[in-house]
Structure formats: structure tokens, C-alpha cells
Amino acid sequence: MLVLLAAGCGAAAPSPDRARIDLSARQPLPARYDQGIMPLRVSVAAVISPRGTAESYQPLLDYLSAVTERPVELVQRRTYQETNDLIESGEVDVAFVCTSAYIAGHDEFGMELLAAPEVGGESVYYSLLIVAADNPASSISDLRGKVFAFTDPMSHTGRVYPTYLVHELGETPETFFSRTFFTYSHDDAIRAVADGLADGAAVDSLVYDFALERDPSLAKRVRVIHRSPPFGIPPVVVSPNVRPQQRAILQNVLLTMHETPTGREALRVLGLERFTLIEDSAYDSVRYVTAAVGTLAQ
Amino acid sequence: MIYALTQRLLDRLWNIAGTVNIRVKILGIVLGLVFLLGLAVTLQVRHLLFQAMYTQLGEQAVAFTRDLAARAADPILINDLYALHVLLQDTQRNHPDVVYAFVVDPDGYVLGHTFNGGFPQGLLSANTVTSDAYEHTAILDTSEGQVWDTAVPVFEGRAGTARLGLSDRQVLRTIDTITGQLLLTTVMVSIIGISAAVFLTWILTRPILDLVGATQAIGRGDFSYRVKRWANDEIGKLTDAFNIMSAALQKAEAERVEREQMRAQYVHGVISAQEEERKRIARELHDSTSQSLTSLMIGLKALEDNCQQCRRQTHVIELRSIAGRTLDDVHALSVQLRPSVLDDLGLPEAIRRHVADIQKRTALDIDLAVTGLDTRRLPPEIETALYRIVQEGLTNIIRHAEAQTASIFIEYSNDKVLAVIEDNGKGFDLTGIQQQDGHLGIYGIKERAELLSGHVEIESEIGHGTSLYVEIPVPADEIHNGRH
């Protein structure tokens, strides 16, 4: 009994690890100080989710940091437009942007092409119309009255091209689909279709291949019902404010990347073969489709 | 030393336990048991609850922080500080025990927090986690009580660290509530226990109290009392044994009473026969012997008067004197045996004459007082008894007391008659007398009084005289007005 009593009395809360902290005694947080060395600020458009981006671009960023001997900072934003704004204001030096974002940036403030990835020997990509694996739809017309997931308002493959397809049927997405929504990234759009949240979505073929490679189970849950004509691949761009010397260094790093083992590894992680030079004219087909749809940038 | 102390403590405990009655003992046992059990269970449950709930609290803190870290990754990566702020606010709002939540970037700068106006000093450095760890929890002593501060790396530390503080207020509240409930239950069970104990005590003590009552009844002489048998247990057996004993006692008492009655009848018979015999002898002496003596005296008188030979005359006178004395003696003997005055004139007069007779014969100064019997007469057996008692008492005084004075006081009042016979003689040792069964004088007095349901008390001390008190009840309907 005494033992029991002693045990009962000893049942107290665990003792604290450290000295007492007064939660009501508050102080302003210190301001962020600027680091001495200006990091190379790289932005990646939200083609895939922020975490996916951070993971897959990390080897590339590490490579850039090692070659340029500067710290590299990854800057991400939710929308393409926000990224374009950062490029225009010079808050980022290099950006991996979406095709339509490049066209908008080029037309609005002279965004400059630095390089383009090459996949399968080509610098093109496609918009893929996908539905759930058990969905009997075979073309865009079968998705009438269904729920459709767009990626980003500015995405060429995820928003502009499917809108173009709907326009060709003489409709607008607002009337053709029962409901549309934005996922802000292509991998989320694939998951939205796989999970049945949306009946259909249009995604970047590079992202699609990449996502299937990372998660093979997705292949059983979604299928492609339409493939667009080739479009100019999303490029690497620089702000027009970047000094030519800096621009040349960065271009050289990217173009020679596939020649070193670490560079090749970083490319492999991204599903790319190498970076190559690209002309603005490579995006004329995109411009055509965009013009047919009208200005969608918000 | 300790043994002695323990022994003393046990003795005191036993003394206390011994003085309280069974009711209190049983109540004490029940209450003590319930109380100890309730207390032990409460403390044990409290102890287990403390362990379980604090473990749970720690797990909860980790789960909340992991969730926060997972959801904070995207807003941090895309620099959406407003979304981060909303996420932190929601986390705190959805979990009332979350005292605070904040997110630190990899460089150690706070990106967002739930505090208003500034950030608590020392909190940021109070807990850290390495980027490859699952979590790290520190228990902080804060102004809002103990806080489980959990740090979880966001996006493997690349997006910083999520920190969350979980208070143990709810845990303590819950434990206190459950403890209170348990104590309440204990009190309620105690109440039920008391009721049960009271009932049990009643069941247990009822036959015992019955037995006590029966014992007291037997003590008073009532052997007819029987104890009801309540149950077939030890007490039931005791009841049986008691009832058998009562029956045996009742039978023995009946036999004793019968024997006593027989003895009383016998004594009564002896006394009556004695009285009758005395009466007959007295009558015979008076009627026959006295007449013969009187005739003899008349003859002697005639002989004396016609004396021829005067030489013989003197001899005849002498003979007549002897006959006269014999007649007086016979008369006195007759009176002593059975004074006819007792039958004819009643007790007061009979005693008065007896006293006068004694005073004629001895030097004893007797003071006689009789009250309450002027106009009424007692029943004959009481009169005879009192007369004989006074007679015996006076005889004793004359024979043994060596007294100068004696007093007799007889009073009738309140349906009883009291007789007190006192002397200023040498007295005697009462203990010696009472053990002397052979002393017939006092035995006779007692016997006579007790036959009439009366009783006798004797007070005596050597050198200080003797007092004899006799009290005899007189049934009211046996009082006779006037004379027989």
C-alpha cells in the first residue's frame, strides 16, 4: 500500500529540460542582414510543385554554384507571372520559365533566351491531354460538361493549348467544361486526374514523362488521349539587365554542362540530355496558338 | 526500541478498537476498506494517466509539428509568407493546446509566428533539430506552464524548421477531472458502503443485543425469555445454547420455587400446629388444671377453717399457699403459651400485658409505643407473628443483652406494619450470628416474617445495643375495623 501511495504521489509531470521562458516578454525580431557575397539567384517556374522543383533542381543549382564559385539561391513563386515580375525587376538572374511565360516576358520587357534543354535530340515538347485510366474519353470533345484542371493561368501546355482545342470546337472553357480550376503545377494536375478530382487535364510532356518515371504507379491511373504538335521547349532565360559578361559565363556553363560527370548527373535528374542554343523563332508555333486563343495572361 | 514502540502503538490501537462498539468497528472496517481502495485506485489511475497522457502529449506535439512542417514547405519555398502566416494561425486555432507555432528559415530567421508584437526572448534557441532528424522535443518551463516544444525540419531542413509548443494544460485538466470523478465515485461507494455496513451491523448485532436483553432478563429472574434465532451461524448456535440454558434455568427455578413453597407450607404447618397445641395446652391448663387447683384450694380453705387439730392448721395454710402459687404459675404459663387476650383484645393490649408481666418479673425498663392500630385489627396470623416476634425479642434481650432499657415501637401505615425492638445492651457481632444457623431465636423471627412476605433487619454493634426491624406487608382487604 505504501509503495502504491508513493508511486501515486510520484506521478508528476515530466520536469522541464531548460530554464524558464517568459512567453509574454517579447522583443522585435532582428532584421535580416545582407550577406557579403551576392548569391546567384535562380528562379524556376512552378511547372512542378515547389518541393518537387527544389528536389529536382538541387543538383543543377549545386553544379552552378560549384562552377561559378558563387552561392546559388533558388527563388520560387506560385505563378508564372510572379516569376516574370522577378526577372523584369532583376531580383533573379537566371530563370527556368515556361514557354508562354517566355513569350509574355519577351514581348513585355525583352526577356532574353539563354539556352534550351534538349530531350531526345530535340528542343521541343508537347501538350498531353490526359484522363483517368478508366475514363472512356478519346478526345477533347468527350470531356464536354466535365471537370478540367488547368495548371497555371500562363502555362502554354496546361492552359493555352487546351483552351485552343476547346476554341476549335467553337466553345470557351467556361461553357464547354462544367468546372475548371488551377493546380499551379503540372505534377499536381496529373495527381488531380489520377485521384479523380478532375476528369481531364493538359500537361507538359516533359513533366509527364518525368512524373511517370518517378512514380510508375501513375501510369496505371492516367492515360494520354491527345498529343499536341511540337512546341518550343521551355527555355532558360535571363533578365535584360544582366551584364553581357555574366550572361556569357552562364550560357557557357549551361552549354558545357553535359561534358562533366556532375553536370550530366544534374541533367539526368531533370530528365534532360543537355542544354543547347535556341532562337526566338522556335516559339512561333506557340505564338500562333496563343494568338488564336487571345491574351490569357492575368 | 522500535519493537517496544510498535508494541505500544499496537496496544493503544487495540485499546481504542476495544472501546468502540461492534457497529463502529464494522463501519470502520467498511469505510477504511472503501477509502483505502478508492484512494489507492485513484492514485494508481492518476499515476497511469500521467504516464499515458504525457506520452500521448509528446506524440501529439510531434504529429502536429510534422503536419505543420509538411504544409509549411510549399509556402516557404515560394516565399508565400501570408499563406505561412495563415497556416500558423490555423494550426493554433485548430488545436487549442498549441501555445505557439513558428517557422525558422535555414539561416535561423523567423519567417512567421503566432505571437503578437515581437517574439519571446530565448524561445528561438530553446530547441533545435538537425536537418536529418525526424524531430526533437524539449520540455520548456514557460510563463504559461510546461510546454512540449517540438522542432521538425521542413523539407529535410532545406526550407528551415517548424516549431510548435503544446501546453499540458488540457492533460492536467483531464487528469484532475478524472481524479475528481474517481474521488466522487469513492465517496458515493463509501455512502453505499456505510448503508451496507449499517445494515450488516444491524443484522449482526441484533441477535447479540437480543442475547444481552435475555441475559439481563435472566439476571432479573425472568427465565421465560427466549431469544429469536435469526441465522444458522455461530450466533445462531450461541442463541440455541442460550435458549437451552434458559429453559434449564427455568425448570430449575420452578423446582426451587416448588420446594420453597413446600418448605413454607411445612414451616407454616409446624408453626400453626405449635400455636394450636399451645392454645390447647393453655386452655387445658386454664379450664382443667386451674379448676382442679382452685377446687383444691377451696378444699384446703375449708379444712383450714374447720381445723380440729390446730397443730396441723399451719401445715394446711402452707399447702394452700403452695396451691395458690401453683395456680399463679399455671396461669402465667397459660398466658405465655397463648394469651387469650391476643384473640380477645388484640395485639396492642396483648403486648402491653406481656410487657407489664415482664416488668413485674425483671428490672428491665421497657418503653412501648403502638400507633395506627387503635381502631383496627391486623389479620390474626400477622398479630400472632408480631406477638411472637416481640415475645422472642424481649426474651433474647432478657437472656443475652444485659440491657437496662428496651423500647418497642409498632406502627401500622401504608398497608404495612413495622415493628422495632431496641435495647441498650452489649450488642453482638452480626456476621457471627448470621452464619450461625443454629440460632433459633433470630431464625424463628425471620421465618415468621418471611412466611408473611415480610423481612427482618438486625443492626447491632458490640457495646452499642441491638435494633431489630421487622416489616410485614398487610393486604388492605384483610384489615378489620373494630374487634374480632
Q: What is the pLDDT of residues B307-366, one digit of tens each?
A: 666 666 777 788 888 888 888 888 877 777 777 778 888 888 889 988 998 888 888 889
Q: Give every strand in the sheet of A147-150, ordered side by side.
A: A179-182, A147-150, A200-204, A127-132, A222-227
**Most confidently modeled range among B37-46, B56-65, B203-212, B307-316:** B56-65
CB < 8 Å & 24+ apart, contacts of B433-440: B433/B458, B433/B460
CB pairs < 8 Å spanning A and B: 122
Q: What type of residue sits at position B349?
A: E
Residues 6+ apart with CB under 8 A from B132: B153, B156, B157
Q: Does the pLDDT at position B433 exceed 80?
A: no
Q: Which of A11, A18, A78 is closest, CB to CB, to B78?
A: A78
Contact across the interface for B42 and A26, Cβ inside 8 Å? no
Pair B471, B376: CB distance under 8 Å: no
Residues in chain A with CB shorter than 8 Å from the CB of B144 are 23
Contact across the interface for B118 and A26, Cβ inside 8 Å? yes
State the pLDDT confidence band at A18, using cuts at 50, 70 and 90.
Answer: low
Residues in chain B with CB shorter than 8 Å from the CB of A78 are 78, 80
The secondary element (H helix, E strand) that includes residue B409 is strand B405-413
Locate the chain B residue with the closest alpha carbon to A28.
Answer: B118
Contact across the interface for B79 and A76, Cβ inside 8 Å? yes
Q: How far is B73 from chain A (nearest CA, A)?
A: 7
Q: Which of B122, B171, B172 is closest, CB to CB, to A21?
A: B122
**Most confidently modeled range among A6-15, B193-202, B419-428:** B419-428
Tell me how far the alpha carbon of residue B43 is from its chain's centroid. 44
Residues in chain A with CB shorter than 8 Å from the CB of B115 are 23, 26
Q: Which of B39, B120, B158 is closest, CB to CB, to A25?
A: B120
Residue of A5, A9, A26, A76 to mutate, interface with B, max B Cβ within 10 Å: A26
Q: Which pairing describes strands B136-142 and B160-167: parallel, antiparallel, or unpaired?
A: unpaired
Q: Which of B47, B73, B120 is closest, CB to CB, to A21?
A: B120
A209-246 pLDDT per residue, tens: 888 888 888 888 999 999 999 999 999 999 888 888 98
DSSP alpha helices (H): ranges in chain A?
Answer: 2-9, 50-68, 80-88, 99-109, 161-168, 173-176, 186-194, 205-214, 218-221, 244-255, 261-270, 284-293
Contact across the interface for B143 and A4, Cβ inside 8 Å? no
Cα–Cα distances (Å) from A86 to A52, A96, A241, B257, in that order, read 21, 12, 12, 131
**Between B307 and A56, where is the model more confident?**
A56
Name the nearest CA neighbour of A153 among A236, A45, A285.
A45
Within 13 Å, how many C-alpha atoms sit on residue A285's CB side?
Answer: 13
Distance CA A66, CA A266 (A): 12
Distance CA B31, CA B194 (A): 7
Pair A136, A144: CB distance under 8 Å: no
What cell does B283 get? Answer: 386452655
Q: Is the dihedral of CA B226, B230, B231, B233 positive or negative?
A: negative
State the pLDDT confidence band at B153, using cuts at 50, 70 and 90.
Answer: very high
Q: Is the dihedral of CA A8, A14, A15, A20 positive or negative?
A: negative
Burial status of residue A271 (CB atoms within 10 A of its CB: 0-12, 13-18, 19 or more): middle
Contact across the interface for B109 and A29, Cβ inside 8 Å? yes
Interface ipTM above 0.90: no
Name the nearest CA neighbour of B411 among B475, B474, B477, B482.
B474
Residues in chain A with CB shorter than 8 Å from the CB of B146 are 13-14, 16
Q: How far is B208 from chain A (nearest CA, A)?
A: 35
Name the nearest CA neighbour of B97 among B141, B48, B46, B144.
B144
Locate the chain A residue with the closest alpha carbon to B138.
Answer: A17
DSSP alpha helices (H): ranges in B285-309?
Answer: 290-305
Residues in chain B with CB shorter than 8 Å from the CB of A71 are none
Pair A76, B79: CB distance under 8 Å: yes
Q: Which of B48, B51, B77 is closest, CB to CB, to A76?
A: B77
